[in-house]
Structure 1
Amino acid sequence: MTIYYSLHPMSDRISGTEPILCAPLLRHVDGKLIQLLRDLRPAEWELQTIAPAWKIRDVAAHLLDTVLRKLSMVRDHCFVETPQIRSDQDVIDLVNRLNREGVTVYRRLSPPALIGIMEMACRQNADFHESLDPFAPAVFNVSWAGESTSLNWFDTARELTERWHHQQQIRHATDRPGIMTPELYHPVLDCFVRGLPYAFRDVDSPVGTAVQLDISGNCGGRWLLSKNNPLWAFVSSSANPPAARVIIPQQIAWRVFTKGIDRNEALALSTVEGNTTLGERIFHLTAIVA
């Protein structure tokens, strides 16, 4: 099954209301990851990234661990433990523990060994996601978007954000060019932003209140969030002008939604117009489990 993500970034079209069909992009993003890891000098594997606990070696180990874990659990139905999940915090604690354990193991690998296994795992992961029915229920829900059940297209888009933003952490740490192309970065941003209705769930505003998010740059886009009854949701148009408009530069947008930049610094680099309380709520979105 071949599905292409076809939304045109920075057009007049409002994003957020259609599925993100991006499975073939995993192969492209991971191909760039493999080449990046091969190009790293020995000393660069020990450089600190913007993730406080992780050096480049740790980020690479995490990327290997998560792709192998996904194949084992979702493709192969291999679950070696059945943790009790009673709350969002239980999910966070479980994911953090699994991440720590995986990094502890795979950071011990030499770069050639890690890259060799990564190449194999990434190829299988891309094959698997491309084989899925994007509109069938996913094994795992996208918890940071507040969903109890998600469809495969959203889980695949979430996978793309993981592969993209951790690779971007390595590029950022080594001062290498990013992979900020419309084809690869816009669907990542679109997926991140899908968490906004959940981030606004406790914001009390009159029905019909709208908030507009613009991510500037050729990879960015525009999203329109509206208060329905009783929840917030993305809409393609609004009868009312936005009560708040936020403009975030694409250079920092990925860091805003992945805890990669201080919130006050992000606000200083962005623009908030209108109702600042509503607008600044966007900067509370964390589109990762952390």
Structure 2
Amino acid sequence: MTIFGPAVDVRPLFPRERQAMLDLLRALGPADWAEPTVCPGWDVHDVTGHVLNDFMRRLSGRDGHGGAVFADDETLPAYLARVNEEFVRATRQLSPQLMIQLLDQLGAQLDAVWAAHELEAPAGLNVSWAATDVDSPAWLDIGREYTEFWVHQQQVRDAVSLPGATQPELMAPVLDVFARALPYTLRTCEHPDGTVAHLEVLGPAGGRWSAVRQDGRWRMVTPGGQPAARVSMDQDTFWRLATRGITVEEARARSTASGDPELTAAMTTLLAVVA
């Protein structure tokens, strides 16, 4: 039984998500680009620059370029915070129009990078919030990148009060990929084999996911049977919890839980970003 559950193929969705982002950015006025976002210290221009960084970083990896290196004793979260901030500061020299053009032009190249991957092959970058002791499959790495772009689009939309891109075909895969953090979220819960924890996300893009304790670790499993713990929340709460757009306490206040309190408490700390 795989730890991560069945593959999610988001590759056909990148052009659609990107087009929604480009349409959004093209509709912004000059003042909108300076609106603050939920990302500390970053405005809309900065978040857009960060997305451009993601594009360029992945395309540079395609070319075999190693990129920035870790400083002495630097943790992964510290490394990412540093290099992301360095790039964002540099992109403050770029006009919004130029960043839009670059995202548009580089996007098709990035689509080709994803298309060249075998979904079940080893990932180019392991997904640390899903497992730290098992290699990630390519589909999970690619899915992680899709969630990154979609979430940053939502952060821009929140900042300028222009909701969108939440139709199920675009949003549901984000929630599905985030749910694959469930086994890692439960990793410290030492329960008997066969124990099941169930997560339900309500809304048009929502779904149901379960993790089972088997052979001393938690694994994704097809929902069914009677779980030892159950947590339910709406789709907006779930993606914001997973990216810490809201606090754990806020998510718990917006959720319903039943069953084993240790499991429900752990499930409502689910995190699907590096932090």
TM-score range, shorter chain: over 0.9
The answer as to whether partners of 2:209 and 2:223 remain within 8 angstroms in 1 is no
**1:161 Cα deviation (Å)?**
0.4
Partner of 1:78: 65
Q: Distance in 2 between matches of 1:162 and 1:45?
A: 20
Q: Distance in 2 between matches of 1:177 and 1:92?
A: 29
Partner of 1:134: 119
Partner of 1:275: 260
Q: Distance in 1 between matches of 2:195 and 2:135?
A: 27
The alignment yields a C-alpha RMSD, in angstroms, of 1.8
Q: Distance in 2 between matches of 1:84 and 1:98?
A: 11
Instruction: Name the structure, 1 or 2, with higher relative contact order (CA <8 Å, separation 6+).
Output: 1
| Structure 1 residues 99 and 205: alpha-carbon distance in aligned structure 2, compared to 1, 3 A threshold | same
| Structure 1 residues 85 and 31: alpha-carbon distance in aligned structure 2, compared to 1, 3 A threshold | farther
Q: Distance in 1 between matches of 2:135 and 2:59?
A: 19
State which of 16, 26, 34 in structure 1 corresponds to 2:22. 34
Render the CA deviation track for 1:190-235: whole Å, top value 9, x for unaligned.
1111111111111111221111100000100000111112001111
| Structure 1 residues 269 and 80: alpha-carbon distance in aligned structure 2, compared to 1, 3 A threshold | closer
1:22 matched to 2:7? no
**1:64 Cα deviation (Å)?**
0.5
The answer as to whether partners of 1:214 and 1:223 remain within 8 angstroms in 2 is yes
1:233 matched to 2:219? yes
Q: How does 1:1-290 map to 2 (within 5 A)?
A: 17-73=5-61, 75-83=62-70, 90-147=75-132, 148-238=134-224, 241-290=226-275
**1:258 Cα deviation (Å)?**
0.3
**1:107 Cα deviation (Å)?**
2.5
Q: SS state of the match for residue 215, structure 2?
A: coil
Q: Distance in 2 between matches of 1:232 and 1:84?
A: 33
Gaps of 5+ in 1: 1-15
| Structure 1 residues 53 and 261: alpha-carbon distance in aligned structure 2, compared to 1, 3 A threshold | same
Aligned residues: 271
The answer as to whether partners of 1:138 and 1:152 remain within 8 angstroms in 2 is yes
Structure 1 consecutive aligned stretches of length 4 or more whose deviation exceeds 3 Å: 80-86
TM-score (structure 1 length as normaliser):
0.88
Aligned identity (percent) is: 37
What amino acid sits opposite 2:189 in the alignment?
A: V
Render the CA deviation track for 1:94-128: whole Å, top value 9, x for unaligned.
21111111111113211111111111121211122
**1:259 Cα deviation (Å)?**
0.9
Q: Distance in 2 between matches of 1:222 and 1:34?
A: 31
Worse overlay, 49-58 or 257-266: 49-58
Q: Distance in 2 between matches of 1:237 and 1:187?
A: 17
The answer as to whether partners of 2:228 and 2:260 remain within 8 angstroms in 1 is yes
What amino acid sits opposite 2:241 in the alignment?
A: V
Partner of 1:6: none
Q: SS state of the match for residue 205, structure 1?
A: coil
Q: SS state of the match for residue 267, structure 2?
A: helix
